[in-house]
Amino acid sequence: MPRATRRLALGFLAAPVIARAQWAPSRPIRIVVGFAAGGGTDITTRTMAARLQQVLGQPIVVDNRPGAGGNLATEQVVRAAPDGHTLLMGTIAALAINPSLFPNLPFDPRRDLTPISMAGDILNLMVCAADKPFRDVAALIAAARARPGVLSHGSSGVGGSGHLAGALFNRLAGVDTIHVPYRGGGALIADILSGKVDFSFATASTTLPGVEAGRLRALAVPNPARSPLLPDVPALGETLPGFAVANWNALVGPAGMAPEIVTALNAAMRVTLADTEVRHHLARHGVEPTPSTPAELARFIAEETAKWAPIVRESGASVD
């Protein structure tokens, strides 16, 4: 069955699964987000939470705990009771990159968390302020080579896809730009617009409004090929062959969650991500809903962890 058809079919099948589930939340559910309000993961989480709480019959509280590339939020969930009432909206950083980036990470995402469902694939953009002199990637590379160690690239947190994209850009383009980490996408975009940061790899949810208003310039998508959502924006792979940095979110909980809790939450996620209004709102922010089974998510996290380990080493990125 094609991937898109499989997702839609699973969404329709989810309602009976919820009806048969042996577990339902008994109080509000807290979904911890490792970045500040206004960023891509926050927007994705809040969009889903509005529908998810209707499906589950309990309020959903989004708890922003920014810092350390999502590690602070992850630790909150790792230490929580595995009763289904404290969850994490995990990112590529927290679940796949940070184990290689942070040598003293106090937890193992694959050991200390329970996979529930993929949430969405997130479109990123390489952007700069519209009044910056570089109008394309080639001009940015030329400016960076002319002034080593002067231009800066911001990200919404250490260890995120934006951070690693900047490190890979430096390596593949042969330039030296300075990484400036923020505690979320909102503050990052504000400093790009003000000129404090020269460019960034940031989520479409935080950058598209500025691009559409003419205040930000979309230089590229950090992929080998162009995105069908923005076909007029060049792929970074057109200038730097092989460049590819994806981004995604997934819902996970503490280790040791009972199977009936995971089944109920997974079914609720499928109903939520099949909702037409939710899908439309996510699409406006460059997010493609990608529900999965817990087993599929576990395999995906393992594959992504293995994929990013050598890339982190090659990029030279590390956080003590």
Tens place of pLDDT per residue across the chain (320 aa): 334 333 434 444 444 445 445 899 999 999 999 988 888 899 999 999 999 999 999 999 999 999 888 999 999 999 999 999 999 999 998 999 999 988 889 999 999 999 999 999 988 999 999 999 999 999 999 999 999 999 999 998 777 788 889 988 999 999 999 999 988 788 899 999 999 999 999 988 889 999 999 999 999 999 888 988 889 999 999 999 989 888 899 999 999 999 999 999 999 999 999 999 999 999 888 898 999 999 999 999 999 999 889 878 876 767 76
Burial of 112 (0-12, 13-18, 19+ CB in 10 A): middle
Q: What is the CATH code of the structural domain delimited by 124-238?
A: 3.40.190.10
Find out if CATH 3.40.190.150 is the number for domain 3-121+247-315. yes
- Distance CA(152)–CA(144), nearest Å, equals 9
DSSP H or E stretch at residue 125: strand 124-129
Using alpha carbons, list the distances in angstroms from residue 281 to 47, 97, 146, 288, 301.
Answer: 7, 28, 42, 10, 26
Predicted pLDDT at 264 = 97
Residue 105, Cβ neighbours under 10 Å: how many?
A: 18
Cβ atoms 193, 215 nearer than 8 A: yes
Q: What DSSP designation does 107 have? A: -
Give CATH 3.40.190.10 domain extents, the chain: 124-238
Question: Looking at the chain, which residues constitute the CATH 3.40.190.150 domain(s)?
Answer: 3-121+247-315
Distance CA 305, CA 268 (A): 27
Sequence-ordered list of residues with C-beta below 8 angstroms from that of 50, at least 6 positions apart, any chain: 60, 278
Angle at 287 between CA 296 and CA 10, to 5 degrees: 40
pLDDT, position 13 = 43
Going by C-beta distance under 8 Å and a sequence separation of 6 or more, which residues neighbour residue 183?
35, 36, 66, 67, 156, 157
Closest CA to 157 of 229, 247, 233, 267: 247
**Helix runs in 21-127, H state only:** 40-56, 71-78, 92, 98-101, 109-112
Residue whose token pair is 């590690």 = 71
Amino acid identity for residue 124 in this structure: N
CA-to-CA distance for 186 and 89, rounded, in angstroms? 18
203/170 Cα distance (integer angstroms): 19
